[in-house]
Amino acid sequence: RFPNLLVNGSAGIAVGMATNMPPHNLGEIIDGAVLLIDDPETDAEALMEIVKGPDFPTGGIILGRDGIRNAYLTGRGSIKVRAKTRIETLSNGKSQIIVTELPYQVNKARLIEKIADLVRSKEIEGLTDLRDESDRSGMRIVIELKRDINPNILLNQLYKRTQLQDSFGVINLVLVDNEPRVLGLRDLIRHYLDHQREIITRRTRFDLQKAEDRAHIVEGLRIALDHIDQVIKVIRSSRTVEIARTALMSNFGLSERQAQAILDMRLQSLTGLQRDKLEEEYAELQKTIAHYRELLADPAKIMGVVKEELLVIKEKYADPRRTEIARNEEEISIEDLIADEDIVVTITHRGYIKRLPVTTYKSQRRGGKGITGISTKEEDFVEHFFITATHDHILFFTNQGRVFQLRGFDIPEASRQARGIAIINLLQLNPEERVNAFIPVKGFGDDQYLLMCTDNGIVKKTALSEYANNRRSGLIGINLDEGDELIEVRLTDGTREIIIFTRHGQALRCSETEIRPMGRTTRGVKGINLRVGDKVVGMDVIRDNAELLVITEHGYGKRTPFNQYRVQSRGGIGIKTLNRTEKTGEVIGGGVVYPEHELMLINASGLIIRVTVNGISSIGRNTQGVKIMHVEETDRVVAVARVVGRQDEDEDGE
C-alpha cells in the first residue's frame, strides 16, 4: 500500500552484491509519489525538493546534501550522520556535552566504551566523567569536561574518532523484472507506481468480476420474483432438484447458477421488503460495474486511485521528520565555533603547553618586574612562547628536525597561572625530543619558503608547500648531523637577507639567495662558521628600516640598525653584535624589530614582562645594551617574543 523499501529501508547481502537503503519519512515519500503521479515528467531535482533526504528513526543530523544528491541521482552515495548534541555550562564553570540522539544503527553501549578507551589511552584529554542517563523519556549520554577544556574542540575530536559521526553508505540495489539494478530516487518511485498500477488494475478486474457475478445472480432472483407463482409450481411439480433446475432454466431462460440461486432462496425473500432490497442492490451493482469498467478503460483513473489511497495513508500515519539536515558539511567546521583572535602559546621546559588571549598581558615600561604568566613546579619553567591566532596552522619544529602541525584552537586554553596540558598529548614526540621552533601560517603556498637554522650553524631553505600534508606522527623537516639540533625556523619569500647571531655575540648578515631550495629531508649548507664553544641562538629575516634586537640571559638588551652589519658570504664567522660581559651574560635570543613592536620577555621563574621596542635604546654593535628586565641572581631570562601593533595602556609593575 505504500513504498515500503523507501520508507522502512532495506539491507541485505548476496553473492557478489549488496543493498543498503536508508529509511525515509512516510509523508515525504508519499508527497513525492503524488507529484510523480500528477506529472510523470517530474525529474529527480524536483523530487528532491520534496523528499529532503533519509529520515532515520534514531534522529541525528545529516551533514550536507552532496551525499543525498548522489544517492538520489545515481543510487549510490555516502551520507554523513552526526549525533545530536548540546553543550551545557554548569554552575562551577565546567562544561558538559549532552548526547540526545545517535546516528542510525550505532550501538550506544559500544559508543560509550569507545570513548572510555580513547580517554584511557590519552588519545582524548579533558574528560572528567562519562555516564549514561538514558531512561524511558529518551536518550541522554553525559560527557563532563575539565574546566579549561573547550567543549567545541573536544566534541569535534569525538566526531572524528567515534561513531558520534558515522557514514551511511547508500546502495539502492533492487530486483526489477528479476534483474538486479541500482536505482535513483525517481526510478524507485516510478517502479513502485508501476507496481501499484498493476495491483490496482488486477484488483479492479477481480472486483468487476465479483460484481458482474453477483449482478447475474440478482438478475435471476428478480426474474423469479416477477414469476413467483409459476416458479413455485415448477418446483413443487419436480421430483428432484436436478429436474427443478432444468425446468427453471428452460421455462424462464435462466443460467444454471441463476436457477441454483432460486432453489437456494429462502421463503422470506418472497416478502415485498426483500424485493425492494433486491432492486436496490441490482441498481448499485450496475453503478459499481460501470465504475470498474471506467477505471479499466482509463489508466489515468487507475493512478488516481493509487494517489487517493496514498493520501489516506499519509493522513493516518505520517509524522514529522526526526532527522535534521544541516548545511553543507564543508561549511561546518570548528572555525565557525571559535573566534579568530590573537593568542599567546607557552611551552614549559618539562613539556606543558597552553594558550591564553594576548590581552592577558598589559604593557609595562622597561625595568618593570612583570606579572605571573604561569605557575610552575620548582623543577619546571617556561622555555618557549610565541604569538599566533586561533585559526592559524601552527608548524611545530623539534630539536630532532621533525615537524608537526596543529591549529591554534587545538591547543587547550588555560588560566594565566595554569601550567597547561602535556604536549605529548598533542604531538607524538620521542623521549628526548622537544619543540624548538614554531611557525604560524594561514595556508601553504608555493611562493613561500621555510628557512631553518641549527645550533651548529647549518641553514636550509625548503618550499612551504612540502609541509602541507602533515600527519599525526610528524614529518622529517631537516636531516641533522650527529649532535646537531634545529633551533630556528623562519617563513620567507626566498629572496631576502638574513641575520644569524650566536651566544657569544657574533652576527652574520647574508643573502638568502645564496641558499638554494632543497627537499624536505635534506641536510642543508653551512650558514655561519662558529668558534669553539659557541652556538647559534637565533636567525631572522631582515626587513627595511628594521633593527636587530638581542636579549641576554641577565635581562640586558639593545637594538642596532642593520646598516652597521655589512653583507657577507654565508659560511663566515660574522662580526660582533654585542659586547658580552659577565654582567650581561650570554645572548639567549632576539630578532628583527621595529620601534612600534612590543616584546614579551619571560624568565625561568615564569614571570612575564611586556615592553615596547621604542623604549629600548638603539645603539652600536660593540655595546652591552640596557637593562630591560630585572632578574634575580638565581634567575635568568629564557625567551623573548614580539607582539606587533598593540596599543595597551602603559603601566608599571602590576
Task: Tell me the per-residue pLDDT of 523-553, one tens digit each, with 9 for 90 and over.
Answer: 999 999 999 999 999 999 999 999 999 999 9
| Mean pLDDT score, 400-411 | 89
Judge whether residue 380 has pLDDT over 80. no
Q: For residue 385, what is the enclosing H or E element?
A: strand 382-389
Mean pLDDT is lowest, of 218-232, 333-347, 383-397, 400-414, for: 333-347
Q: What is the pLDDT of residues 45-73, one digit of tens each?
A: 999 999 999 999 999 999 988 999 999 99
Q: Is 459 helix (H, G, I), strand (E, B) or coil?
A: strand
Top-confidence residue, 321 or 348: 321
pLDDT band of residue 407 (cuts 50, 70, 90) is: confident
CATH architecture of 84-163: 2-Layer Sandwich (3.30)
Among 128, 147, 131, 148, which residue's Cα sits nearest to residue 139?
Answer: 131
pLDDT band of residue 22 (cuts 50, 70, 90) is: very high
Q: What are phi and psi of 38, to 5 degrees?
A: -70, -35
Q: What is the pLDDT of residues 472-524, one digit of tens each?
A: 778 999 999 999 999 999 889 888 999 999 999 999 999 999 999 999 999 99
Instruction: List the CATH code of the domain at 202-317.
Output: 1.10.268.10
Same fold, 84-163 and 202-317: no
Q: What is the pLDDT of residues 181-222, one digit of tens each?
A: 999 999 999 999 999 999 999 999 999 999 999 999 999 988
pLDDT band of residue 644 (cuts 50, 70, 90) is: very low
The rounded radius of gyration (Å) of the Cα atoms in the chain is 42
Q: What is the pLDDT of residue 526?
A: 94
Bridge-partner residues for 287, per DSSP?
none
How is residue 98 written as a grid cell? 549532552
Crossing angle between the packed helical segments 241-252 and 185-226, to the nearest 10 degrees: 90
Residue 252 near residue 224 (C-beta atoms within 8 A): yes
Q: What is the DSSP string of 592-639?
A: EE-TT-EEEEEETTSEEEEEEGGGS-B--SSS--EE-S---TT--EEE
Question: Which amino acid would we find at residue 510?
Answer: C
| Mean pLDDT score, 312-334 | 81
Crossing angle between the packed helical segments 26-38 and 185-226, to the nearest 10 degrees: 80
Q: What is the pLDDT of residue 373?
A: 52
Q: What is the DSSP string of 76-116?
A: EEEEEEE-EEEEEE-TTS-EEEEEEE--TT--HHHHHHHHH
Q: Any idea which fold 497-646 has?
A: Neuraminidase (2.120.10)
Distances in Å between the alpha carbon of 141 and those of 98, 107, 130, 323?
A: 6, 13, 8, 18
Q: What is the pLDDT of residue 651?
A: 35
Question: Which amino acid would we find at residue 502?
Answer: T
Judge whether residue 349 has pLDDT over 70. no
Q: What is the pLDDT of residue 446?
A: 81
Domain edges within the chain: 84-163, 202-317, 497-646
Judge whether residue 567 has pLDDT over 90. yes
To the nearest 10°, report the CA torsion of 645, 647, 651, 654. -70
Residue whose cell numbers read 597561572: 417
Residue ranges of E strands in 486-612: 486-492, 497-502, 506-511, 525-526, 536-541, 547-552, 556-561, 575-576, 587-593, 598-603, 607-612
Q: What are phi and psi of 166, to 5 degrees?
A: -135, 165
| Mean pLDDT score, 626-638 | 90
Q: What is the pLDDT of residue 654?
A: 33
Q: What is the pLDDT of residue 648?
A: 36
State which of 358-367, 374-383, 581-590 shows the largest mean pLDDT. 581-590
| Mean pLDDT score, 415-439 | 82
User: CA angle at residue 335 from 331 to 340, to 5 degrees?
Assistant: 140
| Dist. CA 518–CA 503, nearest whole Å | 27
Judge whether residue 417 has pLDDT over 70. yes
If you average pLDDT over every residue of the chain, what do you get?
Answer: 87
Bridge-partner residues for 407, per DSSP?
393
Residue whose cell numbers read 604560524: 440
The pTM of the whole model exceeds 0.85: no
Judge whether residue 93 has pLDDT over 60. yes
| Dist. CA 175–CA 324, nearest whole Å | 30
| Mean pLDDT score, 274-298 | 91
Q: What is the pLDDT of residue 99?
A: 96
Query: Sign of dihedral through CA atoms 49, 53, 56, 62?
Result: negative
Top-confidence residue, 648 or 271: 271
Q: What is the pLDDT of residues 235-251, one digit of tens each?
A: 888 989 999 999 999 99
| Dist. CA 119–CA 613, nearest whole Å | 45
The percentage of the chain sitting over the pLDDT mark of 70, rounded to a whole number, equals 92
pLDDT band of residue 367 (cuts 50, 70, 90) is: low
User: CA angle at residue 608 from 607 to 613, to 5 degrees?
Assistant: 145
| Mean pLDDT score, 2-24 | 92
| Dist. CA 305–CA 308, nearest whole Å | 5
Q: What are phi and psi of 371, to 5 degrees?
A: -120, 160
Judge whether residue 457 has pLDDT over 90. yes
Q: What is the pLDDT of residue 408?
A: 86
Contacts of 173 (CB under 8 A, 6+ apart): 17, 18, 19, 75, 180, 181, 182
How is residue 606 written as a grid cell? 615564569
Residue 411 near residue 380 (C-beta atoms within 8 A): no
| Mean pLDDT score, 568-594 | 92
- DSSP-assigned letter for residue 446: T
Among 109, 106, 93, which residue's Cα sits nearest to residue 141?
Answer: 109
pLDDT band of residue 645 (cuts 50, 70, 90) is: very low
How is residue 212 written as a grid cell? 458482474
Q: Is 149 helix (H, G, I), strand (E, B) or coil?
A: coil
| Dist. CA 412–CA 426, nearest whole Å | 10
Judge whether residue 382 has pLDDT over 80. no
Q: What is the pLDDT of residue 444?
A: 86
pLDDT band of residue 322 (cuts 50, 70, 90) is: very high
Distances in Å between the alpha carbon of 565 and those of 197, 577, 629, 642?
A: 91, 8, 26, 22
State which of 189-198, 228-237, 599-608, 644-653 shows the largest mean pLDDT. 189-198
